[in-house]
Structure 1
């Protein structure tokens, strides 16, 4: 009987402790894991054409504060893009609007299917806030040409500009004209 009483006391203490702690102490990690897993497994694959923006809506816009003569004070400085990146509330609001403008149909228009991306990346002197330089880029497209693939090219072009292997204008042209073609030229054998 004494053993049973101790088990009951431990059970009551455990329940009290559990209910006294904020839910986030328990819910945060499994909820985040489930949400991440759910979102990643339920992102549709868009057509290859969706990997490139509509040139009329998103032609790409330069940041007038970045020039070839000041790249070592701007885009070549580690952490520079953090200083000019627009706030999330701005890009999320723009993403909602642009998903409608791009005409993505119901069921394929969830915010988490896209990254609101700079066509001319901040690392290459693109405008941080111009709607003509931002577009809802699908995370997954046929052939693997989604947002994360473009990020790799942006980083490579930035290194080439900062190492003096390519002019800023040339890198800007490559990324805005057809980033998939530029990627293939950079990474194909």
Structure 2
């Protein structure tokens, strides 16, 4: 099966739909570039190494819940989201890169994490660039990629 059309469609959708989102410097780790992916995001355990401790992340989540007026009784329904995931070069602890996202639903955190892992694999196999992956997950990714199970990259 020729997977090139799916890859081209992925890249085209990313560039057409959200090229400006991924360019927000306050969301991005300056140490992660196309030239450094083999030493950063493509190294197993990278995200765990650069992310703040669990306690720090929970404090960040509580701060966002309070800012949004969400009762802490519903905290388990929300994830601490990185607008640009750490797996794709997002800055792990930058307040500008942090948001709350429901775990469930079409635009939920579970689906976003699945897309992030897929895009990271495509970046690390050389099938797409880091910039394409960042643009693909920024903005309205849930509507651009409604069927995550059909995505493939040529290196998989």
Q: TM-score range by the shorter chain?
A: 0.7 to 0.9
Residue of structure 1 equivalent to 2:136: 174
CA distance in 1, matches of 2:33, 2:143: 25
CA distance in 2, matches of 1:158, 1:63: 15
Contact 1:126 1:133 in 2 (8 A): yes
CA distance in 2, matches of 1:96, 1:86: 15
Matched, 1:92 2:58: yes
CA drift at 1:185 = 6.8
Segments of 5+ residues of structure 2 without an aligned counterpart are 1-20, 152-156
Contact 1:60 1:132 in 2 (8 A): yes
Instruction: Single out whichever of 67-76 and 93-102 deviates more from structure 2.
Output: 93-102
Segments of 5+ residues of structure 1 without an aligned counterpart are 1-54
Matches for 1:28-177 after TM superposition, within 5 Å: 61-104=27-70, 106=71, 110-141=74-105, 144-177=106-139
Count of equivalent residues: 129
Matches for 1:6-45 after TM superposition, within 5 Å: none
Q: How far does the alpha carbon of each residue in 1:123-149 deviate from its partner, in whole angstroms, 9 at most, with x for none? A: 1000000111111211123xx432111
CA drift at 1:121 = 0.7
User: Helix, strand or coil for the counterpart of 1:101?
Assistant: helix
CA distance in 1, matches of 2:118, 2:29: 19
Instruction: Single out whichever of 178-187 and 131-140 deviates more from structure 2.
Output: 178-187
Larger radius of gyration: 1
Contact 1:60 1:134 in 2 (8 A): no
Q: How far does the alpha carbon of each residue in 1:145-165 deviate from its partner, in whole angstroms, 9 at most, with x for none? A: 321111110011001111111
